[in-house]
Amino acid sequence: VELPGFAVWVFVCLYASVVCYPNGKVREACTSMVPCHGGSPQLSPEHTITVNGTEFKPGDNIEVHLSGPDFEGFFVQARDAERLESPAVGSFVLADRRRSQLLTCGRAKNSAVSHTSKVKKKDIKFYWVAPGDAPKHVQFLATVVKKYRIFWVKIPGPIVSQPDVLSPTPPVYATSEAMSTSHPVSHISKPFSASSCGIMKFCIRNPTNCDPGSASCFFLSFQQEESSVFIEMSGPSEGYLAFAFSHDQWMGGDDAYLCVNEDHRVRVSTACLKERSHPLLDSENALEDVAWRLADGVLQCSFRRSIRLPAYKGRFNLDTSYYIFLADGEASEGGLIYKHHRQPLVTDGLYNVTALPQDIGGSRAPRLIKAHGALMFVAWITTVSIGVIVARFFKPVWSHSFLLGKELWFQVHRMLMLTTVMLTSISFVLPFVYRGGWSQQAGFHPYLGCAVMALTIFQALMAGFRPSRHAPRRQLFNWFHWSTGTTARILAVVTMFLGMDLPALDLPDPWDTYAMIGFVAWHVGTDVLLEIHSYCLVRKAEVIEDDRVQILQSLTSAEAEGRLFKQIVLTIYVCGNIVFLVAFLIAINLV
């Protein structure tokens, strides 16, 4: 059946007027920079674009900053300042992958930046990389969406200019004081060997004891040769590999070494890490005998450096013990590196690579963070879940059994809930101990975690003032007790979903999410099964006469008949929870 032409036209117009892009995929707006929200753009901009320089050369990267009152979406391009209707110029590099993403407009790859979600933001930062054929003057333009119908189009930003130069300047691939001095480079003919690890070489391998010739092995080795150390590094990466010596388990003030894939050639550099920023390349390269290889998705590089380099600022002496970091990530076509997607591999202790050869591994998840995750998992997947089911369905089953002068169901419920409070309190402190304060990199997870902790403490305090069974306020207490506990459980599950995606735990994605979904289904399924069973027992209850006491007695008797069934279900449920717990502990390498 064909729609009349007018109806098709109306449908297209309506569709175009309501389509929005909460995920930032706005390629349709590459030319006009106008969001398809309908309505007219605002006239007086509230947001500004700033840059950290007014001049550039081909290959330079300029920091671009968009800021202003809360906004949901944005779209930024750089264009020829003398022809603003022309296509986008240059490419961008992200500084915050959670809130921004790269888009390709026309044939220019990564030539625009946009938002990733509608989460409100006050500022966003990224880098513009000047191309070799850039016009003399380039202007930044931004479209900003405050709300669906409130937006500004092509907000003019600063103009950066390219001074007249006689010859092209080599590109700067990271924040650098000057380009690294080049040394003769050779090619590696085959994968590295681990046969001398622990004998002649100090080796770090991940996974433990993996073969550096495999496509999944991260390998780093150090072999002392008189007054120098020969270093080999390889791993599955088409962007970059890097390692660093550090005095602690935190990034910052470290001696780093990078092997970066630049258009199918590998650049080997030394750098300093200043906290969580782009590495600062050294003005001179202290490395010798540099070699590299790219094959089958594996990047290899090797080089030699002296044990002591007093003439080079920032280079550590290799006859001292350090923590060793090993990281990998993506790099742009021009060699500018992105932040690593996952937690770097970090050795468990301080090591001297020129001392006795060893063959060790490392961890991408710090022990305190592992303990945090494990304790929260035990508390909110095991003890709380079992405690709720016991209180909800086992009152009539265990009503005539007593422990320490109280009904058995109540004592079991109370013991499990106090265990939850204790585990949650201990676990809550661990990330603050590890981070040394609040983490700005964990999204909503710490905020929701604080809410769960507050509700847990409130629930425990409220339970301590529980009125007697027949007190007038008992019904109000029951309602608050249930609603607070349910809210805490829901928030805890949401918080765990968010926490499992954080790089510090290094869980296998997407199986971690599937496992959590499986647990939620397991718990809800058990709850529904017991509810149906209770309902069926109530339906079977035979009420002899319309007397409230007799009805209650009949219900209690009917519930008691299902004791065996409920105990079997509870046993299976507890065993299932233990399986989920063990699987989680295995995933974070605690078992």
pLDDT 10s digit of each residue in the chain, 591 long?
344 443 333 334 433 333 445 555 666 678 888 887 667 888 889 999 999 989 998 888 899 999 999 999 999 999 999 888 888 999 898 888 888 998 888 777 889 999 998 889 999 999 998 888 889 999 999 999 998 888 999 999 999 998 864 433 333 344 433 333 345 567 888 899 999 999 999 999 988 889 998 888 999 999 999 899 999 999 998 889 999 999 988 777 899 999 998 877 888 989 888 766 667 777 677 899 999 998 888 999 999 999 998 877 778 999 999 999 999 988 776 667 777 767 788 998 999 999 999 999 887 777 888 889 889 989 998 899 999 999 888 887 777 778 887 888 889 999 999 999 999 999 999 998 887 788 777 788 999 999 999 999 999 999 988 888 888 898 899 999 999 999 999 999 999 988 887 777 777 667 778 888 888 899 899 989 988 888 887 676 544 444 444 444 555 555 556 778 888 999 999 998 888 888 887 777 665
Answer whether residue 288 is part of any domain. yes
Non-local CB neighbours of 342 within 8 Å, separated by 6+ positions: 364, 503, 506
Task: Point out the domain boundary residue: 310, 330, 363.
Answer: 363
Query: 135: cis peptide before it, omega within 30°?
Result: no
d(CA 498, CA 534): 35
**Domain shared by 219 and 137, yes or no:** no
Identify the pLDDT of residue 299: 92
**Domain shared by 40 and 114, yes or no:** yes
**Domain shared by 380 and 484, yes or no:** yes
**Domain shared by 135 and 199, yes or no:** no
Non-local CB neighbours of 435 within 8 Å, separated by 6+ positions: none
Answer whether residue 179 is part of any domain. no
Helices 408-435 & 445-464 angle (0-180, nearest 10):
140
Q: Contact 171/332 with Cβ under 8 angstroms?
A: no
**Domain shared by 484 and 497, yes or no:** yes
Q: What is the pLDDT of residues 472-509, one digit of tens each?
A: 898 899 999 999 999 999 999 999 988 887 777 777 66
Structure tokens that stand for 265 in this block: 């050639």
Q: Contact 459/488 with Cβ under 8 angstroms?
A: yes
**Domain shared by 350 and 382, yes or no:** no
**Domain shared by 502 and 457, yes or no:** yes
Kindly state the helix (H) or strand (E) to which residue 391 belongs, with its residue range.
helix 384-393
* Number of compact structural domains in the chain: 3
**Domain shared by 209 and 353, yes or no:** yes
Structure tokens that stand for 192 in this block: 């590295």
DSSP reduced 3-state for 551: helix
Answer whether residue 171 is part of any domain. no
Identify the pLDDT of residue 545: 43
d(CA 525, CA 531): 10
Reading across the β-sheet that carries 323-329, which strands appear in turn?
280-281, 265-273, 254-262, 240-246, 323-329, 345-346
Output 219-224 pairs: Cβ under 8 A, ≥24 positions apart.
219/192, 219/194, 220/324, 220/326, 221/192, 221/194, 221/197, 222/318, 222/353, 222/354, 223/196, 224/307, 224/353, 224/354
DSSP state of 453: H
Name the burial class of residue 353, with classes exposed (0-12), middle (13-18) and buried (19+) by CB atoms within 10 angstroms of its CB.
buried
Answer whether residue 17 is part of any domain. no
Identify the pLDDT of residue 43: 85
CATH number of the domain encompassing residue 491: 1.20.120
Answer whether residue 1 is part of any domain. no
**Domain shared by 467 and 497, yes or no:** yes
Task: Point out the domain boundary residue: 347, 363, 379.
Answer: 363
Give the count of beta carbons closer than 10 Å to the beta carbon of residue 77: 29
Q: What is the pLDDT of residues 159-183, one digit of tens each?
A: 999 886 443 333 334 443 333 334 5
Answer whether residue 538 is part of any domain. yes
CATH number of the domain encompassing residue 194: 2.60.40.1210
Identify the pLDDT of residue 354: 95
**Domain shared by 582 and 452, yes or no:** yes
Put simply, whether the predicted model's pTM sits higher than 0.85 gets the answer: no
Task: Point out the domain boundary residue: 313, 340, 363.
Answer: 363
CATH number of the domain encompassing residue 92: 2.60.40.4060
Torsion of CA 338, 340, 341, 343, to 10 degrees: -160
Structure tokens that stand for 12 in this block: 């297209």
From residue 31, give the alpha-carbon distance in Å to each of 36, 64, 91, 234, 580: 13, 20, 16, 42, 51
Answer whether residue 426 is part of any domain. yes
Full domain range(s) for residue 299: 186-363
In which residue are the tokens 């602690």 written?
248
**Domain shared by 57 and 152, yes or no:** yes
Answer whether residue 469 is part of any domain. yes
**Domain shared by 352 and 384, yes or no:** no
Identify the pLDDT of residue 296: 80
